[in-house]
Amino acid sequence: MEARISGGMMSLRNNRSDAEQRDFIAAYQTWRAQADDELRKKRDELLETIRPYRSLALLGQVYFSETVGNPETYKEWSFRGVAAKVEFIAMLLAQRENDGGEAVVPPKVTYAVEIYLNDVFGNMAPYYSGFGKGGSPTDPDPRSLVLMWELGVRMPLYPWQYRETLPELFAPVDAWMEAALGFTIGDALAVELGFERATNAVLQHKAPSLEDGSMQRIRPLANVHERGIVPKPGHEAEVTALWNAYQTNWATVIAEIGDGIAFDLEAVANHAGISEARAAAVLNFFTLQPATIPVDFYIPIPDSTLKLRPLIKFDKRWTLPSSMLFLPAMQPAIERALNPALHAPTADKDAWVTYETHRGDFLEERTMAALSRLLCGAQIHRNLKYKTMPGQKSPFELDGLVLHDGKLLLIECKGGAFSSAARRGDLDAIEDRIDALITDAHEQAVRALEYIESVDKPLFRVDDKLIDFDKGAVEEVFLITTTLEELGFLSARFNEVSRLPTTSLRQTPWTVPVHDLELVAKYITTAPIFIHYLGRRIALNAQKAMGAFDEMDWLGRYFFDGLTLADVQRVLAADPTATASLASHKTEIDDFEHYERGIREKPAGRPGPRIHRGIERIIDSLTRWAGRGYIDAGVALLNLPPKLQRAFAKRVLSACEKVSKVVYVQELALSEDGELAYLITVLGAGANTDQIVPHAKFGNAKRSIHLFVDALMNVLALSR
């Protein structure tokens, strides 16, 4: 394997020959045949080791080591905590028939737990791999994408998005929730937030006590290594005593942390600020029942019951093993209780129809609101119908159509869920959900595009109103599909999971979860920048060798280099077997989001594209003017290489300051690939445009942009 790092980008190339690949698969199949017995044996050995100790004391150590406790020092790309480890050990402990009696767990036992968890999670990827079927590790494999996400990644990225959208999503069925479940969505959110605040307070209060000064006294007397402590000659007894004191203090405080993250009903109600009756209803609904854990549980499972019931009861108190599970559990758990098709005793057909209709409207409204912010002043139409031939009985539908400055956006929204069968790796179920949530939306958008291209005058109907537009004024079309489900791990690798062949970039969509779209709308502030991002983002969807973990990684990379990926592109061009995948690029976004919400005290700057300040000023002026062609003009400037951006902006802004009524200045830049020439003509208010040198006389570019700007930075005209 070869790895290349560039600004967080990791490019991987598989160098095995065909013979080496066959040997690798054979060795894998040999290991996999005995892996279950091996994992069961290790589980049994661990359970015997931890048998004397209390569950909460054991959980406290893993919870502390795998929980993000300090947003000031947290770095998304380097943090090694795995919340799934806490969930796994919690489920093992929940299955024990009898709790242990010892409250303080010796260091050798906590070390044994750590080694065991590292071993299990180190083997998890190959355990669930599809190599045994003879496939290549570089083949598109949506099953592996789903499994690795469900097994190891925890959502949400930003919990406040859920806290803001869930009340609106469930508002139409709040009365049903209160009558059937005994609580409202507001009650559930209050309990979740209460757990977060209470457990954070425990960590903040207890963590300083872990360092009692013993290590500071040890360091001058011993050589401290990762593998242990070696006393200097003559200090053996003193170091041993200090080390024992350190370990005893650590074990005692960890036991207190474990005890502190469990709460009785009264405490939960107090932390949530709701009645005990409502708190009890929430707790009962979201508490895992040990009987739902597989009898022979020895390895993490992708469809863990904690995904729907994230609370576990130990010692007659409730604990939340992973704070990142509660918010994502709410929508699917409540939908299961409401949906008649799933035969829950609380299901209500009328309430479900009301909710399902509202869910679709909710997604469309959030999608269009985000696009309205990105394309200020755009014509936006929802719920359109059209017929592709005379006499067609049932019209086709299009969720949204957006027109702005020669750009046409065709929008499809899918509010459905990713099923439990798909989450546990059932390939047929995965394919079904990809079809329902990604491919069908893509297909519907393409059908609308083909209709528009096939007629002289496209005609749509919204209720009783006819919508038409001048097709000749449309210079560029984009397909956008959004999901309510957090499917960034799939949509960010659209080229691997798409089931509908795309014949051109024009038919390639941008598929994006609505929460991610809202973040794009937050951090991209002008239409030219958005269209620039959208064009480059869609181009990467069409490139088979490129992928990312989620949409925010693509956005972070856009801020880094405009998604040019020049160094990686050279690797891919030189070797058709090479593939590239983004490592994380979300750290700057994380830092700002946490700072803005008051979680992080250290100031963090607002992330955004790295655009030369002069170019940014020109684009801002273009956006304020918003005349015909302003988006193309801005995109043209953004396409300039960084060096040309700096030089070009400096010359243009200088010319704008000096130009007189009879003077004009023309500046030219040619892109590195020779595809585009950018010619800006800076005019005085009374300049004679007949004297301007035609743009065709500049360079040998395949396409030229001729942009007129007056001394006040207002665009007068744009021609090609």
The pLDDT tens digits for 586-599 are 889 989 998 999 88
In a domain, 493, yes or no: yes
Q: Sort 421 into a burial class: Cβ within 10 Å, 0-12 / 13-18 / 19+.
A: middle
Contact yes or no for 28/580 (Cβ under 8 A): no
Q: Sort 15 into a burial class: Cβ within 10 Å, 0-12 / 13-18 / 19+.
A: exposed
Which of 133, 152, 171 is a domain's end point? 152
Residue 447's pLDDT is what? 96
- Let me know whether 395 and 510 are in one domain: yes
Tens of pLDDT, residues 74-100: 555 444 568 899 999 999 999 998 999
| pLDDT: which is higher, 684 or 345 | 345
Bridge-partner residues for 680, per DSSP?
667, 707
- Let me know whether 485 and 363 are in one domain: yes
* pLDDT over 90 (residue 69): no
Q: Average pLDDT in the 139-156 region? A: 76
Report which residue type is found at 233.
Answer: P
Q: What is the DSSP letter of 692?
A: S
Contact yes or no for 368/343 (Cβ under 8 A): no
Tens of pLDDT, residues 433-456: 999 999 999 999 999 999 999 999
Residue 235's pLDDT is what? 87
CATH number assigned to the domain comprising residue 449: 3.40.1350
d(CA 286, CA 93): 18
- Let me know whether 507 and 645 are in one domain: no
Which of 118, 133, 152 is a domain's end point? 152
d(CA 555, CA 552): 5
In a domain, 447, yes or no: yes
* Closest to 116 in 3D by CA, of 61, 56, 54, 52: 61
Instruction: Calculate what percentage of the chain has a pLDDT beyond 70.
Output: 84
In a domain, 666, yes or no: yes
Q: Residue 578 — φ and ψ, nearest 5°? A: -80, 150
Q: Is 667 helix (H, G, I), strand (E, B) or coil?
A: strand
Mean pLDDT across the chain, nearest whole number? 85
Stated as kind and residue range, the H or E segment containing 63 is: helix 55-65
- Let me know whether 393 and 539 are in one domain: yes
In the structure, what pLDDT confidence band is assigned to residue 708 with cuts at 50, 70 and 90? Answer: low
* pLDDT over 90 (residue 400): yes
* pLDDT over 50 (residue 132): no
Residue 656's pLDDT is what? 66
| pLDDT: which is higher, 204 or 667 | 204
First to last CA, the chain: 47
Q: What is the DSSP letter of 526?
A: S
Residue 711's pLDDT is what? 43
Q: Average pLDDT in the 656-685 region? A: 61
| pLDDT: which is higher, 408 or 620 | 408
In a domain, 183, yes or no: no
d(CA 132, CA 149): 20
- Let me know whether 521 and 642 are in one domain: no
List the structure tokens of 181.
């479940």
Q: What's the alpha-carbon Rg for the chain, to the nearest Å?
A: 29
| pLDDT: which is higher, 717 or 334 | 334
In the structure, what pLDDT confidence band is assigned to residue 16 with cuts at 50, 70 and 90? Answer: low
The two most distant CA atoms of the chain are separated, in Å, by: 99
Handedness of CA 123, 127, 130, 135 (dihedral sign): positive
Tens of pLDDT, residues 93-117: 999 989 999 999 998 999 999 999 9
Residue 585's pLDDT is what? 85
Bridge-partner residues for 11, per DSSP?
4, 580
* pLDDT over 80 (residue 527): yes
Residue 2's pLDDT is what? 47
Greatest mean pLDDT among 319-328, 573-582, 608-617: 319-328
In a domain, 623, yes or no: yes
* pLDDT over 50 (residue 718): no
Residue 632's pLDDT is what? 84
| pLDDT: which is higher, 553 or 647 | 553
- Let me know whether 516 and 643 are in one domain: no
| Of the candidate ranges 500-504, 507-511, 514-518, the one whose mean pLDDT is the lowest | 500-504
- Let me know whether 514 and 653 are in one domain: no
* pLDDT over 90 (residue 716): no
- How do beta strands 222-225 and 9-13 pair? unpaired
Domain of 395 in residue numbering reads as 356-544
- Let me know whether 531 and 654 are in one domain: no
What is the model's pTM?
0.88
DSSP 491-547: HTTHHHH--S--SSGGG-EEEEEHHHHHHHHHH--SHHHHHHHHHHHHHHHT-TTEE
Q: Average pLDDT in the 318-328 region? A: 92
- Let me know whether 528 and 622 are in one domain: no
- Let me know whether 509 and 624 are in one domain: no
Q: Average pLDDT in the 488-506 region? A: 78
Q: Average pLDDT in the 410-419 region? A: 94
- Let me know whether 522 and 392 are in one domain: yes
Which of 501, 524, 544 is a domain's end point? 544
Number of domains in the chain: 3
* pLDDT over 90 (residue 564): no
In the structure, what pLDDT confidence band is assigned to residue 578 with cuts at 50, 70 and 90? Answer: confident
Assess whether the previous peptide bond of 156 is cis (omega < 30° from 0).
yes
Q: Sort 404 into a burial class: Cβ within 10 Å, 0-12 / 13-18 / 19+.
A: buried
Residue 663's pLDDT is what? 59
In a domain, 141, yes or no: yes
Contact yes or no for 486/414 (Cβ under 8 A): no
| Of the candidate ranges 105-119, 545-559, 703-717, the one whose mean pLDDT is the lowest | 703-717
In a domain, 667, yes or no: yes
Residue 77's pLDDT is what? 42
In a domain, 319, yes or no: no
